[in-house]
Amino acid sequence: MKSYIIDIDGTILDGSSELNNSKQFMQFLQNTGSDFLLATNSIKSHDLQVQRLRAIGITVSTEIIYTPIDSINKYLERNKINNVYVVGNESEISQIHATHSSNMPELIILLDFEKNNFSYNNLQTVIDHIAEGAKIITASRSTYYLKYKKKQIDTGAFVCLIESVTGLSIPVF
């Protein structure tokens, strides 16, 4: 029996629309008892991913979804990191299995700059934490994404900026 890792965005879904007869394919996998994992580079929660899939008629459990935040949480656990500074919104921060704090974080986690309208002062805080010894990781190096056929600045653009200021190479999870 084969096992599959299937990308959600761009393979199964285009935004909220089905792609490539994906509902039929997923039903085939489920009916034949095939093992599969749904992976995405999106940092949307597992529950939200399940809702998106359900909207096009695909029913799956949250346990078969894998996101960059899953990798980040495994890294935190493996390295016993408890105090982090997360760039993201409350929904994203709540998925991280560590205490979010701007007071001497061990690690900075870059998730999303857009939703909270991250400012110059917030960027300077990241730079200051790095200067104080905090390590840094990111969920994405994408410099932009398309929204209504227009380029929107994405996390990777800020990653490039922070790397150019600090001289670091920021790992992607």
For range 49-76, the mean pLDDT: 96
pLDDT averaged over the chain? 93
Instruction: Give tens-digit pLDDT for 75-102.
Output: 999 999 999 999 999 999 999 999 999 9
Give the span between the Cα atoms of 11 and 99, in whole angstroms.
Answer: 34
Nearest to 92 by CA among 110, 105, 80, 75: 110
Tell me the CA end-to-end span of the chain in Å, nearest whole number.
29
Nearest to 87 by CA among 104, 57, 112: 112
**pLDDT at residue 145, rounded to an integer:** 81
**pLDDT at residue 146, rounded to an integer:** 75
Instruction: Give tens-digit pLDDT for 14-42.
Output: 888 898 899 999 999 999 999 999 999 88
Give the chain's count of helices (H) and strands (E).
6, 11
- Domains, the chain, with CATH or none: 3-66 (3.40.50.1000), 68-166 (3.40.50.1000)
Q: Which two tokens stand for residue 49?
A: 């991913």
Q: Are strands 13-14 and 135-138 parallel, antiparallel or unpaired?
A: unpaired
1 band by pLDDT with thresholds 50, 70 and 90: low
Q: Which two tokens stand for residue 23?
A: 């509902």
